[in-house]
Amino acid sequence: MKVLVYGSGVIGSYLTHVLCSAGNDVTVLARGKWKDQLELNGLKIRHHLQRKETLDHPKVIGDIKEDDRYDAVFAVMPYNKIGAILEQLAAANAPLVTLVGNNMSPAAMQQTILEKTVCDKQVLFGFQVTAGKRDVENGILICERAGAGTMDVGALHSEPDPKTKVTLARIFSGTGYKLNWQPDMEAYLICHLAAILPIGYLAYACGGDLTKSTATQRRLMRLASREAFGMLKSQGVPILPANDDQYYLPGFRGTMMQLVYFIMAKSKTVGDLIACEHCRNASEEMEMLDKAFEEIIARSSYYPMPNWQKLKAQMPEWDVVRKQYQKG
């Protein structure tokens, strides 16, 4: 099938690799030095945990052409940047567009695309569990992932329809990449912040190096997420993926999550690729997500979140974070 991946960061690049592995006709939209590297040398990925390297040669473009038709488009851009490409996605000649990544304005973005689309189009939302970093100068991407990769995907408030599920399954056929159908991606994306924002707070508190964190801080991180999930449930937000809040409660799952935090802190390479690299290079996105989540918290002023506030107070103010990490 003919597929366009709009965006070539860590997540977009691994997605491109998977789609190429499935035998699709894959085009990737990239810009700058990374586009030059892709055109010259192809997409080279070092899969850290799997201890292997792969090389793919997707088509590379700098802009969407009106006369090009695709069976599906995956837009993989940071939350602070994806709003700027909505009209381009609307102009894409494709029946299916999936916005992949953090998103606290999915309904508004869907409306913009559908109001301006040039053809009948369905909009989905997805989240792919992949981390890593790009070494632009050497033309290689270092990828951290478990297994063949997964994407949680669905419509705003429903699973994809049966026909769309078949299309997506065909696109990823034979790769081992798992598609998890979600019934409410708006709720899913909100819940995701309850899990990741405390990690970001601690990463910034430790100067972008989780190896400097203490056991007390890591426990505080889990307690903060526990409070956030409780706050969302008090507002009637469905917890998605289902039972994800159980990883922050006492018991086996909570112990496993605490172990994950420990590994992130003690393995500088793993922790850096999973959490710190993103916090350093996406501080603007993290700030926007934090502000959006604070608006949700404000709706539940009666719900106590002392551990959340205590953890967040340990990181610098956002203006300090911006000066420390933003480039240019």
Instruction: Give the tens place of pLDDT for each residue, 91-140.
Output: 999 999 999 999 999 999 999 999 999 999 999 999 998 888 888 888 89
Q: Which residue has the tokens 């909100």?
A: 190
Mean pLDDT of 151-164: 98
Mean pLDDT, residues 185-192:
98
Q: What is the pLDDT of residues 12-40, one digit of tens each?
A: 999 999 999 999 999 999 999 999 999 99
**Confidence (pLDDT) at 327:** 63
174: pLDDT strictly greater than 70: yes
Residue 134: phi and psi, rounded to 5, are: -100, 130
- Confidence tier at 325 by pLDDT (50, 70, 90): confident
The count of other CB atoms within 10 Å of the CB of residue 163 is 9
> Which residue reads 């809040």 in tokens?
245
Tell which CATH architecture fits domain 2-183. 3-Layer(aba) Sandwich (3.40)
* pLDDT for residue 39: 95
3-state secondary structure of 247: helix
Q: How far apart, in whole angstroms, are the C-alpha atoms of residue 65 and residue 63?
A: 6
**pLDDT at residue 312 above 80?**
yes
Q: What is the pLDDT at residue 66? A: 78
- The pLDDT-based confidence of 67 (bands split at 50, 70, 90) is confident
Residue 282 contacts residue 275 (beta carbons within 8 Å): no
Beta bridge partners of 307: none
User: Which pLDDT value is given to residue 215?
Assistant: 95
Which string of b and e fits 262-288 if b means at least 16 CB within 10 Å?
A: eebbeeeebbbbbbbbbbbbbbbbbbb
On average, the pLDDT of the chain sits at: 94
DSSP string, 98-142: EEES--S-HHHHHHHHHHH-SS--EEEEEEE--EEEEETTTTEEE
Smallest CA-to-CA distance from 151 within 132, 165, 163, 135 is with: 165
Please state which of the ranges 56-60, 196-200, 229-233, 258-262 shows the lowest mean pLDDT. 258-262
Residue 299 has pLDDT above 50, yes or no: yes
Helix, strand, or coil here: 302?
Answer: coil
Parallel, antiparallel or unpaired: strands 131-135 and 140-144: antiparallel
Task: Determine the pLDDT at residue 120.
Answer: 95
pLDDT tens for 78-95 read 999 999 999 999 999 999
Q: What is the rounded CA–CA span in Å between residue 122 and residue 167?
A: 12
| Percent of the residues in the chain that have a pLDDT greater than 70, as a whole number | 99
Task: Name the strands in the sheet holding 59-61, side by side, starting at the edge strand that comes first in the sequence.
Answer: 59-61, 25-29, 2-6, 72-76, 96-100, 122-128, 150-154, 178-181
Tokens matching residue 128: 């792919």
Q: Which residue has the higher pLDDT, 144 or 237?
A: 237
Looking at the DSSP assignment, which residues form a beta bridge with residue 154? Answer: 125
Q: What is residue 161's three-state secondary structure?
A: coil
pLDDT, position 328: 44
Q: Domain boundaries in the chain? A: 2-183, 187-325
pLDDT at 210: 92
| DSSP-based three-state secondary structure for 198 | helix
Do 80 and 285 form a contact (C-beta atoms < 8 A)? Answer: yes
User: What mean pLDDT comes out for the span 289-312?
Assistant: 94
pLDDT digits (tens, 9 = 90+) for 264-274: 888 877 778 88
